[in-house]
Amino acid sequence: MATRAGVPRRVPSGTLLVKDIGVLATFSEEHGEIDNGAIYVKGNVIQWAGPTDSIPAEYSTADEVISLPDRVVIPGLVNSHHHMFQCLTRCIAQDSKLFGWLTTLYYAWVHMTGQDIYVACKLAMAELILSGCTTTSDHLYIYPNDVKLEDSIRAAREIGIRFHPTRGAMSLGESKGGLPPDSCTEEESVCLADMQRLVEEFHDNSRYSMLRMGLAPCAPFNVTNDLMISAARLARKYPGVRLHTHLAENQEDVDFSLKVYGCRPGQYIKNVEWEGEDVWFAHCCMLDDNEAKQFAEQKIGIAHCPSSNMRLASGIAPVRRLLDAGVNVGMGVDGTASNDSSNMIAEVRLALFAQRAGGSVEAMDAREALRLAITGGARNLGRDDIGKIAPGFAADFVGWRTDTIGFSGAGKDPVAGLLYCTPSIGFVDLSVINGEVIVRDGELQTLDLKVRVRVSSGFARNMPADLTLFL
């Protein structure tokens, strides 16, 4: 029987051969980039990858065969930071920085229902999938009315994306010196009890898992040190449960920590026991050199979110400096109310150009930017079973057409063209997630987008122009 969290999708039992691929970029050191490539999949696992004219006899036939000439295929992109619930509140507080933007939107989000969360997540996931994403995290930190994390889990299971939901929380309201109104916060005992319940009910740490849990108190300016410490200790009781939050997003964020906690972000995470390779933070625009060294030594990951950081005038994370220091950096689209998009390939393009904006074309190249969103994101989420098109890896890969107007003239390097030509190349032509064809011939197979977009418009349309009226 279907529950509020939906029914997990079945693992495909058949075989799939994708061949005649114009350019297959495996992001595997062994396989590299292959002209006229092919991939053989059994169930949800890649068995073989190589040139089409070298397919072994045992892999030459399959239950389903797809021919992809004039395509470029890469591993699925990994989104390691998002707030999908914000998909229904785009284009609000357009001229505000982080704190002003949040204090405006809190009063809209507190009126959301479980159905709103489900619809918003379904839409965000659809946009992610169509823009090349096959694995995504989500940070749901507000639980008004009947909202539960199961609303987002249900959306993921129905649409077929590999999902890392994180149970967020806000406990430090205005009356206690925090940023959000008290109406948006929860008692810490309630948060922790629900975190434990969700981990024990939904976390699957097996290889090729489609759902792994994380714990994510929201930010230093809306949770207490006690909650941060308790969440860290709880997560570490369960193998594979990771920790996530925002850190050093802008100068306001750092100033709050200095004022309230008397320290910079690096010392703060020490104080609350959030150092270690099971932790990844969003943003980190304001880390200094000592903190970059600390992150590298502790194997802490970062989700880089350039669109949101630019939109909110937060700054640009020093990705080149962080990478050179040995820090793992992945990509995130961030919330759909601060981006205001869930377009993953466009986010990678912006990451490439943002690093070059400082005046050096050597700051980043296209393939390094793609690696941020593939292997960097996989490491943020603790995955060693995604991020390559190679035997033994999950069958998660995506392909774009190269015979379109947006790719005209890009035949010299179609892999780089994925970023340089992004605004006009359109959505993916093919998406395979966990061995299942989720996008075929450019059409999403698991959701009627026209119906879902129409249903979603109600929440935003009913919001007053002055959100303070929600008070």
Q: Residue range 199-213: average pLDDT? A: 98
Asked if the model's pLDDT at residue 422 lies above 90, the reply is: no
Q: What is the pLDDT of residues 140-189, one digit of tens each?
A: 999 999 999 999 999 999 999 999 999 999 999 999 999 999 999 999 99
Q: Which tokens belong to 320?
A: 């080149």
Q: What is the pLDDT of residues 208-219, one digit of tens each?
A: 999 999 999 999
pLDDT value at position 145? 96
pLDDT value at position 123? 96
pLDDT value at position 391? 98
Q: Residue range 332-361: average pLDDT? A: 96
Higher pLDDT among residues 424 and 430, named by residue: 430
Q: Residue range 416-429: average pLDDT? A: 90
Q: What is the pLDDT of residues 369-418, one digit of tens each?
A: 999 999 999 999 999 999 999 999 999 999 999 999 999 999 999 999 99
pLDDT value at position 424? 74
Contact of 247 with 81, CB cutoff 8 Å: no
User: What is the reported pTM?
Assistant: 0.95
Contact of 264 with 296, CB cutoff 8 Å: no
Contact of 426 with 406, CB cutoff 8 Å: yes
Q: What is the pLDDT of residues 256-289, one digit of tens each?
A: 999 999 999 999 999 999 999 999 999 999 999 9
Domains and CATH numbers, the chain: 15-75+388-443 (2.30.40.10), 77-380 (3.20.20.140)
DSSP structural state of residue 438: E
Rounded Cα distance, 218 and 221, in Å: 8
Asked if the model's pLDDT at residue 330 lies above 80, the reply is: yes
Rounded Cα distance, 410 and 223, in Å: 48
pLDDT value at position 469? 37
Asked if the model's pLDDT at residue 194 lies above 90, the reply is: yes
Is residue 73 within a helix (H) or strand (E), and if so which, with residue range? strand 71-75
Arithmetic mean of pLDDT over the chain: 94
- Strands (E) across 122-212 are located at 133-140, 162-169
Q: What is the pLDDT of residues 73-111, one digit of tens each?
A: 999 999 999 999 999 999 999 999 999 999 999 999 999
Rounded Cα distance, 412 and 330, in Å: 27
pLDDT value at position 471? 29
The torsion angle over the Cα atoms of residues 60, 62, 65 and 67, rounded to 10 degrees, is -20
> Which residues face 165 on adjacent strands?
138
Confidence class of residue 3 from pLDDT cuts 50, 70 and 90?
confident
Q: What is the pLDDT of residues 54-75, one digit of tens each?
A: 999 999 999 999 999 999 999 9
Q: What is the pLDDT of residues 172-184, one digit of tens each?
A: 999 999 999 999 9
Q: What is the pLDDT of residues 445-471, one digit of tens each?
A: 999 887 555 555 556 556 555 444 332
Rounded Cα distance, 84 and 79, in Å: 12
Rounded Cα distance, 244 and 165, in Å: 10
Backbone Cα Rg of the chain: 21
